[in-house]
Amino acid sequence: MQVLVVSSLYFITPAFFANMCPVFANKLKLPFAKPINAKHLGENKTYRGFYVGYLGALLVLYLQTKINFAEYSLLDYSNINIYLYAFLFGFGAIFGDMIKSYFKRKRGKKPGTCWFPFDQLDFIVMSLIFVYPFHEISIKHILVLLILSPLLHFLTNLIAYFLRLKKVWW
């Protein structure tokens, strides 16, 4: 069970990190903060989010190629194209968040308000969809991610709130 949980989380770490990067980029005032489509997606979905999501996923994948964690690796990090996988995980995570934001706005929900479980799963689901044609993972790993992601999302948001990186803790 431990191997299943750790290998699932290790696999999806690039998407988790990509999903967090726009929050850090906002605090650092990195360029390209122009909203993609404020009317349909809100002010917080920017071009900057896409490039920092990609760079965040790339950083994690690079570190994963350097760390020998073979017992828990679902990918053969020595034989993958990390630039492609950074795109799949990073773009997938940010695109999933963007799609969720579109529907969130359509339902009249304001930015920053909680929309459970979509806020917690959007980036995971879309990342898995993007990665799947290149690397299939088992249904057990997917279920672990769908169960644990809301908890981890809550904990990371709570930490970000206390570090004053986010305005809300949910």
Closest to 57 measured CA to CA, from 10, 12, 14: 14
Check residue 28 and give its pLDDT: 86
Cα separation, 62 vs 43, in Å, equals 31
Contact yes or no for 149/96 (Cβ under 8 A): no
The whole-model pTM stands at 0.90
- What's the mean pLDDT in 5-23? 96
Average pLDDT, the chain: 92
Check residue 170 and give its pLDDT: 66
- For 132, half-sphere exposure in the C-beta direction (CA atoms, 13 angstrom radius) is 12
Record the tokens describing residue 95, joined without a space: 């695109």
Contact yes or no for 54/91 (Cβ under 8 A): yes
- What's the mean pLDDT in 22-50? 88
**Structure-token match 């950074």, residue found:** 86
Contact yes or no for 86/58 (Cβ under 8 A): yes
Residues 127-161: tens digit of each pLDDT:
999 999 999 999 999 999 999 999 998 898 889 88
